[in-house]
Amino acid sequence: MGPPVQQQQQQQQQQQQQQQQQEEQQQQKHQQQQQQQQAQQQQQQQQQQQQQQQQEQEQQSQQAQQHQHQQEHQQHQQQQQQQHHHHHHHHQHQQHQQQQQQHHHQQHQHQQQQHHHHHQQHQQQQHQQQHQQQHHHQQHQQQQQQQQQQQQQQQQQQHFLQFVV
């Protein structure tokens, strides 16, 4: 029971770094705040994937590093494209596109992400940003999602620590 606790602690540190980057992005993008409510709809989908993510922390720790580079890439593409897309209608379609493009990304990222759905959404999101204008909701919703992840992992750490003690 000891090793899972250590892995969760490492994972928290990596996610905190991502959170700081995303908070900086949020300050630069005031338009994202308008779409915050719709982003919460997607949180329900990702909460289910969180449970899978916590079971595969070894894979996740490798992907979290790739993650930060991709977020920097998303910043530049997103700022240009989101200015043209203010409609909330497409957001519901976007949920379906996420699920479809996850399968597409499984083929490319097959070694690291075969079982890891939450990070698939992060990386496949880059594809949507290059080809679509709605993508911009996803990144903001991930910001909230990572904050929730930390809370859930801290709770699970407490459970693990109780078992260890």
pLDDT in tens, 13-70: 555 555 555 555 555 555 444 445 444 444 444 444 454 545 555 554 545 544 444 4
Assign 156 to helix, strand or coil: helix
The number of folded domains in the chain is 1
Q: The whole model's pTM is what?
A: 0.12
Q: How confident is the model at residue 105 (pLDDT cuts 50, 70, 90)?
A: very low
In a domain, 25, yes or no: no
pLDDT for res 160:
56
Cβ burial of 117 (10 Å; 0-12, 13-18, 19+) is buried
Q: What percentage of the chain reaches a pLDDT higher than 90?
A: 0
- The first and second tokens of residue 68, run together, are 């930060």
In a domain, 146, yes or no: yes
Return the residue matching tokens 């595969």: 56
List C-alpha distances in Å: 60 to 7, 42, 49, 85, 150. Answer: 10, 20, 12, 32, 14
In a domain, 56, yes or no: no
In a domain, 147, yes or no: yes
Q: How confident is the model at residue 2 (pLDDT cuts 50, 70, 90)?
A: low
In a domain, 80, yes or no: no
Q: How confident is the model at residue 90 (pLDDT cuts 50, 70, 90)?
A: very low
pLDDT greater than 50 at residue 7: yes
In a domain, 12, yes or no: no
In a domain, 67, yes or no: no
Q: Which domain holds residue 160?
A: 139-165
In a domain, 159, yes or no: yes
User: What's the chain's average pLDDT?
Assistant: 48
